[in-house]
Chains A and B, each alone.
Chain A
Amino acid sequence: MAAVPPTTGKKWSSDSRQYLAIEYDDTFLVYFRPSGETHFLNFLSYGMVDAVSSMPLSEEEILARMRTDFSLTAEELPEALVATTLSELDQAGLISALGAGA
């Protein structure tokens, strides 16, 4: 999987009308309408999709938000994990960078 180009300043967003989510004990089953695919997200990846659905956020903002929301330290939630998770979510289409694409 190719690393994503640097995304400094880029804002991420998701559209909650495009997906359906059901929670099963901290695991989220998510149906994404545009692709017709069903994904399993965990608390972190779902938390990220959910966070950017109400307001576009940059990578730094998402990181801060996840650490606060889930009471995690910088050591517990490293920056790199958020970055790779963003890239996975982006590839699946669940989130997109504002201004890129439609």
Chain B
Amino acid sequence: MQKSALKQIVGIAPLPEKVMDRIDLVRYADANHILGQMASVDTAGVSDRLNDIFRNALLRAGHDHTMLQFEMNRLEHALSGTGIEPVVLKGGAYVAQGKRAAGGRRVSDLDILVTEGELDEVEARLKQAGWSPDEATDNEYDQAYYREHMHELPPLRHAKRGTIIDVHHRLLPKTARSNVDVALMQQSATRVAGTLVKTFDDVDMFIHSAVHAFADGAIDTPARSLVELYMLYSELSFNDTSRLQIRAKAVGASKPVSTALWAIDEFFSADGAPALLNKTLTEKPHFILRWAITSKTFERRLAPLAKALLYIRSHYLRMPLRLLVPHLARKAIAWRPSVQKPVELPFP
């Protein structure tokens, strides 16, 4: 895929002229779950057929948003009277605040953040309202582990609606190398008008998105993460962008935020980002990381390699180093593309 793809998807570069290129772009957007985002930006002048395809994507996203709004409504209902005001994260927050990043976005789960002290009550209330631990974690052993070691809740699924709430009290796993000062971010969270739930303010929303994309994983959905970061960034005021770095430092997220700003500059050439990069960034992300992100984002031929590198990286970021040595040193280097070792199952 061409590097201009992301710009075309967010509407800052014209769609490809050639039909086959255009088909390829739509396929790329669909496969990377950003067709809805593409459909939600300027669609004037596109063909009827493309409009139909966009409409499909928007109908899907519309369903997700209705579902999510209702889940928030049910969450409030469940917590009513407790005084607990959870912070809705990610997609839920964008939908609740009508952010540009919500446009056409598919959302499946509701992620909320509460304080550690509120966990027990939140759990009790959610269970009373019909949520229960998801099947994958529903055995004594797992439950005990959560209680003893993590002080976190397993994902909860609603028995009737099948929807999932993920209750967090931190933004990164306990074992992670860096950790983010959640309390500081919670303090400046703001109420969603007419509700009892909160979201981070715009700057923290961007920071959290960056943390989620670059500090917490193998960047599983790079194109989607990058479009999200771009959309969030594009809605920041001048005041917001000027305090972004300071805030990132204060909450302990300088590195992912730097990577995010580099990525926005690299893939979208957004106004403001380059200047910011020069002035305040001490360093660009290492070239291998840059290469890996680019390669994985655009499905280049070496994407499996990029994936492997990001995989190694995510493990590094999540685990104390000594845990890494045995299994990564021995295995990850011998990484191979996945097609060659199929486990053949008999036809059921």
Contacts and interface: CB of A to CB of B under 8 A. Distances in A.
A1 interface: yes
A36 B127 CA distance: 23
Interface string A84-102: 0000000101001000111
B130 A2 contact: yes
A33 B314 CA distance: 41
9 contacts: A2-B127, A2-B129, A35-B161, A93-B77, A100-B77, A100-B81, A101-B73, A102-B76, A102-B196
Contacts of A96: 77
Given A101-B76, A101-B80, A102-B194, A1 B130 contact: yes
B267 to A, nearest CB: 34
B81 A34 contact: no
Contact of A102 (B73, B128, B129): B73
A91 B159 CA distance: 11
Given A2-B128, A100-B81, A91 B70 contact: no
B195 interface: yes
Taking chain A's interface residues, is the majority helix, strand, or loop, or is none over half, making it mixed?
Answer: loop
A48 to B, nearest CB: 18
A62 B224 CA distance: 50
Nearest to B194: A102
Taking chain B's interface residues, is the majority helix, strand, or loop, or is none over half, making it mixed?
Answer: helix
A5 to B, nearest CB: 8
B160 A91 contact: yes
B113 to A, nearest CB: 20
Interface in A64-102: 91, 93, 96, 100-102
Interface string B67-78: 101100110110
Interface residues of A, number: 11
Contact of B66 (A35, A101, A102): A35
Contacts of A2: 127-130
Given A35-B66, A100-B81, A93 B130 contact: no
- Most B C-beta atoms less than 10 A away, residue of A36, A91, A101, A102: A101
Interface string A2-41: 1000000000000000000000000000000011100000
B96 to A, nearest CB: 12
B63 interface: yes
Contacts of B69: 34
Q: Nearest 5 pairs between A and B by C-beta?
A: A36-B66, A35-B70, A100-B80, A101-B77, A2-B128
